[in-house]
Amino acid sequence: MTEPKKGIIRRFFSALFKTISWLRVALINLFFVVFLIVFITAIMNNAPVVEIEEGSVLLIAPEGVIVEEASVLDPIEAILATQDEDLETRLWDITTAIKEAASDKRIAALVLKLDGLSGLGMVKAEEIARALQVFKQAGKPVISYGEYYSQANYYLSAQADEVFMNPMGGVLLQGFGVYRNFFKSLLDTLKVNFHVFRVGEYKSALEPFMRDAMSEEAKQANLHWLNQVWNGYLTSIAEARNLNVETLATTIEHSDEALREVNGDAAALAIKMGLVDDLFDRPSMEEELINRFGESADGGLKAVSMRTYLNQHFMSLQESSSPEIAVIVAQGEIIDGESVPGAVGGDSLADLIQRASEDDNIHALVLRVDSPGGSVTASEVIRKELQRFQASGKPVVVSMSSLAASGGYWIAAGADKILADANTLTGSIGIFGAIPTLEESLSHVGVSTDGVGTTPLANAFRIDMPMNPMAASLIQQNIEFGYRQFLEIVASGRAMDLEQVDTIARGRVWTGFDALEKGLVDGNGGLDDALQAAAEIAELGDNYKPKWIRPEMAPLQALVDGFLNAKSEVLMSWVKGFGLQSLALKQAWLLKDPRHRYVLCAECAPL
């Protein structure tokens, strides 16, 4: 190739790389400019304080999953996470807005619109239902409207004075269940040996790797609490709607026959069953509400959104010197080290407890637990930090949300008082470990392993060799020791003897209703009840305020958090207009206990 031709090719690729580099910088700058434009627009459009008119309707229309505490996301992921499954609404925000509106003379009624929900557990629904009762006791009506009602959403909507639905909708009540995939035959086919170490015949977390079907012990335990929760669900909506609970249960069990009698019209069946009061399409529903509560200046319903109402409420709060009760949330699986979205790190939560301990204006701590457990080591780190807090003379009260099982109960057991909802899943006091080995799989494809070591344990934890008998003995002894530790922690915290704890342990899951009878909790109640209990123990009377202790965010995270939340109504319409979707993968729970011991309730799915 001649020199001129080489020069032309060199200049071509040089120009190409420069163009690509320029495009990359331009796209980054464009994204930053869009970010600033949306941010400034959101601030400018929301700067004035919204005047709430007399007779306004408070619209409660949460989106995504109802959570105890919002996840702290990576800033870019937070901006791009605009899909419904990525959205979260804090339970405390909903209940606070409802209870504040109950005594607000400007608010005449409340409208529930729950179609945007993708996750609402029974316990969280009951917390909201209690707030709705406060609102109704103030003499103000609650109205629910939905395009379609899922089982979870309907439980909450049934608490309304009137329930309306789109004529194209329906109400799906299907009961509760626990179903899991089982992999024993698959593992046998793949020649994988799964070595399980556990204590407690009800500790069924690893059954999918040991069996091809659920054990009778697991079926018995699961059906016991499932029936309790389902009967409570039916009783609650029957009382709220003035229905006969036996008739309701029978109709649900024969839903196909009931639907056939109304020619397959699900909306007509909902009316016939008394689950819905009337049918409206969207325009007709808005017209009906305007006729009842008045029209705004722009011709729509005279309403205020929950987010706008909360923003104004918090802006109007004056600083006070009232003593504080710290509220810390333990939400998700318990893992070692630092927290990740969807899980609580032992070190991270211990740091939050320490921060609360060092605050002289904090006189008590309420730990809100919504966790199926996880790492023994991380659970013990949290429990020890709670003990240090108590040693300073300040009480700890645990408030159980949907789940406080296994490691979730480990960290709760030593509290001065434990409160749970009747439908909370708790207990599951047991421990397990597991190690798979692949020696047969490898042998099947012609791979073998051999060698020498200085002791019988030198090859103890190789997955390409058969399970070392001495290692198996050591692990099982360690698991049994961990179980005795668990029993001792519960016995000490609950003032029970070891034999008494063992009879209600063995890995069995209990509802909050049963847990009260068994002595695992001190009472049934929600977060407000836990705050009051903490105030009583700390002798604060009614002169206290909650202080949420949350992970400290990096400056960019704090900016994005304010960007997304404080100005969310304007912002999200802008961001969704660009059609952006989440580009980040959800981080899964990591089994990384340093001693490979876990107190996890895998079957405890919040209902």
Residues with Cβ within 8 Å of residue 565, at least 6 apart in sequence: none
- Please give the Cα distance from 545 to 321 (Å, whole number): 9
Burial class (CB in 10 A: 0-12, 13-18, 19+), 448: exposed
Number of separate helices (H) and strands (E) present in the chain: 23, 23
- Please give the Cα distance from 346 to 381 (Å, whole number): 6
Cα angle: 359, vertex 360, 362; to 5 degrees? 70
- Please give the Cα distance from 467 to 437 (Å, whole number): 7
**Is 320 one of the annotated active-site residues of the chain?**
no
What is the CATH code of the structural domain delimited by 56-177+216-316+556-577?
Answer: 3.90.226.10
Contact 173, 412 (CB under 8 A): no
Q: Tell me: the pLDDT tens digits for 33-50?
A: 665 565 555 544 444 456
In this prediction, residue 600 carries a pLDDT of: 72
In this prediction, residue 196 carries a pLDDT of: 86
- DSSP class of residue 340 equals B
- Please give the Cα distance from 245 to 239 (Å, whole number): 8
Q: List 119's β-bridge partners, or say none.
A: 65
Coil, strand or helix at 386: helix
Query: Which sign does the torsion angle of CA 364, 370, 372, 375 carry?
Result: negative
- Please give the Cα distance from 275 to 146 (Å, whole number): 12
Q: List 88's β-bridge partners, or say none.
A: 65
- Please give the Cα distance from 600 to 595 (Å, whole number): 15
Coil, strand or helix at 593: coil
Residues with Cβ within 8 Å of residue 262, at least 6 apart in sequence: 268, 269, 272
**Is 406 one of the annotated active-site residues of the chain?**
yes
Task: Tell me the DSSP string of 477-518.
Answer: HHHHHHHHHHHHHHHHHHT--HHHHHHH-TT-EEEHHHHHHH
pLDDT by 10-residue block (mean), the chain, 607 residues: 58 66 68 58 50 91 91 54 66 95 95 91 93 96 96 95 97 94 93 87 84 92 94 96 97 96 97 97 95 88 92 63 92 92 91 96 97 94 97 97 95 97 94 89 93 92 92 91 95 96 94 96 96 96 91 55 45 34 35 62 65
In this prediction, residue 298 carries a pLDDT of: 82
Query: Which sign does the torsion angle of CA 386, 387, 391, 397 carry?
Result: positive
Report field, pTM of the whole predicted structure over 0.85:
no
Amino acid letter, residue 605: A
Cα dihedral 483/487/489/494 (nearest 10): 160
Spot the catalytic one: 203, 302, 394, 567.
Answer: 203
Spot the catalytic one: 150, 406, 441, 568.
Answer: 406
Amino acid letter, residue 428: S
Nearest to 422 by CA among 543, 529, 320: 529
In this prediction, residue 118 carries a pLDDT of: 85
Query: Which tokens is 257 given?
Result: 């026959």
- Please give the Cα distance from 456 to 489 (Å, whole number): 34
Contact 369, 411 (CB under 8 A): yes
Burial class (CB in 10 A: 0-12, 13-18, 19+), 400: buried
Output the 3-class SS for 183-201.
CHHHHHHCCCEEEEEEECC
- Please give the Cα distance from 389 to 384 (Å, whole number): 9
Does domain 324-437+465-554+589-600 match CATH 3.90.226.10? yes
Coil, strand or helix at 431: strand
Is residue 564 left, alpha or beta, with left meaning phi > 0 and alpha meaning psi from -120 to 50? alpha
Rounded to whole angstroms, the maximal C-alpha distance in the chain is 94
